[in-house]
Amino acid sequence: MAKKITLNVPLNRVEGDLDINVTIEDGVIVEAKSIGTLYRGFENILQGRVALDSLVVTPRICGICSVTHLCAAVDALENAQNITPPAQAVRLRNLSLLSETIQSDIRQFFLMFMGDFTNEFYQDAPFYQEATHHYEPFKGASSKEALKKTTEILKVVAIIGGQWPHTSHIVPGGISTLPSLLELTVAQNHIEEIISWYEQNVLGCSLEAFSKIESVESFMYHLEENAETDIARFTRYAEYAQLFKIGKTSQNFLSYGTVHNPLNPSERLIKAGVIIEGKFEELDVSKIYEDISHSWYKQVNVKQKPFDGVTHPDMKSEDGYTWAKAPRYAKKVMQTGPLAQALVNGDKLLTSLNDKYGDCAYVRELARILRPAIHLKYARQDIQGAIESFGDMSYNQAVEEFSGEGVGLVEAARGALGHWVRVKHGKIENYQIITPTAWNGSPQDLEGNRGAWENALIGLECRDIKNPMEMGHVVRSFDPCLVCTVHAIDMQDSKQKYKFKIGL
């Protein structure tokens, strides 16, 4: 008879609290449920406040992508009021968001992903000592250096916006400040410093040279020639850990696109779109809805459009197992994040890697640490543009009381982030947020489709249930952020007191 066990595994090195409930049969995962265990009720906090307060409240949803939430909040308000920010503000916003995302990609790779290879699970691996030297938590030489570099890139956000995290310098109509020419040139130096470190240590060549590597073969050749780079080490470890084979979920990808064209802000230079079963389509926001059939809500109106959701918390709901809802795009489970961004944008190298190896844990994580190669080029371009346009205005709109609704779609470090806001006489009537981790870490839907990383876990071999390293690799390759996700809940009837019985 098959040996079957079910257990709850709390996962660390993710942002926030995540449990994975897995059923393992003969060492193989046969069922997986992703459980967001912390609920924070942010939409309730927003309701009734003046519209601009979303610029202060929503960044506090997430400590690692606070500028991203700020951008989404401002986008939603500008969308509702039909405001176009001036070019200089667009450059400074791009720089703020790019810097935060570069920081996040680097911290996730070095501090949250590579540390796994220094775990005793790999003590017999040929790379164990090398990995420990470079990536041991708190001590590894490369990780320490990477941490320092992230503090440098964040200085760019601080120069433009005052501090990181949790500033509110991006406002409807522009930006709150005019950095001096001295400050802008200092920011440029910080960007060049990061580029130089990233080229030498992570890539092993210049950004320009790297952009010419378009096939799997030339990429692997590059790694052989540059064996002492972080991407080469990661690839060696990944091969040993079989990350090329595990973690596949589907070929459905969603990206909202990023980096606005300063001269035409509605254009995104890294384009938005979806890939469904391998085929590119233009993004159609109206196809997004949330399914609550397996979430802790009263089961009325199981499929909800972002603006019209009605939600009654109910931990007794029969099939519920998480506070997260399940966003779907035209009934499809989508994955989002750096790999989706690259594929939707037609990145040649990642497309060929995905063609060859699929959306495995290796390719998904690799896409993250390769993304700065693209983003740093845009940062370089925008800071140069900001310096050349120094003196141009960066704010063009007085804030007035208004009524209306708007959507803010932003590409966060972890993927597609949407804010839906409805304002009445200057006050927030309703606020709905769908985060990247809601897409990636969603529960099942009514049709029985599992969420993206739930599905990626099915069939995974789990050699040591006391130290389920394979699970960690797979889920961390999505870069989960639960602090964002489990309060992306529309609390229209929030004044209701909960009477349900607790008992999981």
> What is the footprint of other proteins within residues 372-401 (CB under 8 A)?
393-395, 398-399
- 3-state DSSP assignment of residue 266: strand
The 10 Å Cβ neighbour count of residue 278 is: 12
Distance in angstroms (rounded) separating the CA atoms of residues 233 and 170: 38
Candidate residues 134, 169, 312, 328; the one interacting with other proteins per rule CB under 8 A: 169
Candidate residues 27, 30, 44, 269; the one interacting with other proteins per rule CB under 8 A: 44
Distance in angstroms (rounded) separating the CA atoms of residues 333 and 326: 9
Among 341-349, 431-439, 441-449, 488-496, which window interacts with other proteins (CB under 8 A)? Answer: 488-496
- Structure tokens belonging to residue 286: 């109206």
- State in angstroms the smallest separation of the CB of 5 from other proteins: 14
Candidate residues 30, 205, 220, 315; the one interacting with other proteins per rule CB under 8 A: 315
Burial 293-306 (b: 16+ CB within 10 A, else e): bbbbbbbeebebeb
Per rule CB under 8 A, is residue 495 in the interface with other proteins?
yes
- What would the x/- binding string for other proteins be over residues 413 to 432, using CB under 8 A? --------------------
| CA quadruple 321, 323, 327, 333: dihedral, nearest 10 | -40
Q: Give the side-chain half-sphere CA count within 13 A for 215.
A: 3
Q: Which of 387, 349, 388 is nearest to 370 (CA)?
A: 349
- State in angstroms the smallest separation of the CB of 321 from other proteins: 12
Cα angle 158, 160, 162 (rounded to 5 degrees) comes to 45
CA distances from 252 to 77, 209, 248, 335, 439 (A): 30, 30, 11, 6, 11
- Structure tokens belonging to residue 74: 């401002």
Candidate residues 15, 105, 230, 359; the one interacting with other proteins per rule CB under 8 A: 15
Distance in angstroms (rounded) separating the CA atoms of residues 503 and 334: 32
Contact 62, 410 (CB under 8 A): no
- State in angstroms the smallest separation of the CB of 24 from other proteins: 15
Assign 3-class secondary structure to 75-113.
HHHHHHHCCCCCHHHHHHHHHHHHHHHHHHHHHHHHHHH
For other proteins, the closer of residues 137 and 404 by Cβ is: 137
Near other proteins in 210-269, by CB under 8 A: none
Distance in angstroms (rounded) separating the CA atoms of residues 41 and 10: 22
- State in angstroms the smallest separation of the CB of 402 from other proteins: 15
Candidate residues 483, 488, 490, 492; the one interacting with other proteins per rule CB under 8 A: 483
Near other proteins in 45-64, by CB under 8 A: 45, 49-50, 52-53, 55-57, 60-64
What is the side-by-side strand order in the sheet with 288-291?
303-304, 288-291, 326-329
Near other proteins in 453-472, by CB under 8 A: 466-467
Near other proteins in 316-375, by CB under 8 A: none
Among 161-169, 299-307, 334-342, 406-414, which window interacts with other proteins (CB under 8 A)? Answer: 161-169
- State in angstroms the smallest separation of the CB of 250 from other proteins: 28
- What would the x/- binding string for other proteins be over residues 92 to 131, using CB under 8 A? ---------------x---xx--xx-xx------------
- 3-state DSSP assignment of residue 429: strand
- What would the x/- binding string for other proteins be over residues 174 to 213, using CB under 8 A? xxxxxx------x---------------------------
Among 165-173, 221-229, 347-355, 438-446, which window interacts with other proteins (CB under 8 A)? Answer: 165-173
Candidate residues 168, 250, 444, 485; the one interacting with other proteins per rule CB under 8 A: 168
Among 10-18, 197-205, 271-279, 348-356, which window interacts with other proteins (CB under 8 A)? Answer: 10-18
Per rule CB under 8 A, is residue 452 in the interface with other proteins?
no
Candidate residues 22, 24, 40, 295; the one interacting with other proteins per rule CB under 8 A: 40
Distance in angstroms (rounded) separating the CA atoms of residues 128 and 120: 9
Tell me the site size for other proteins, rule CB under 8 A. Answer: 90
- Structure tokens belonging to residue 234: 């990661």
Per rule CB under 8 A, is residue 302 in the interface with other proteins?
no
- State in angstroms the smallest separation of the CB of 96 from other proteins: 11
- State in angstroms the smallest separation of the CB of 213 from other proteins: 31
Per rule CB under 8 A, is residue 66 in the interface with other proteins?
yes
Among 37-45, 373-381, 408-416, 431-439, which window interacts with other proteins (CB under 8 A)? Answer: 37-45
Distance in angstroms (rounded) separating the CA atoms of residues 474 and 462: 11
- State in angstroms the smallest separation of the CB of 174 from other proteins: 6
Classify the phi-psi angles of 384: left when phi > 0, otherwise alpha if psi is within -120 to 50, otherwise beta. alpha
For other proteins, the closer of residues 56 and 125 by Cβ is: 56
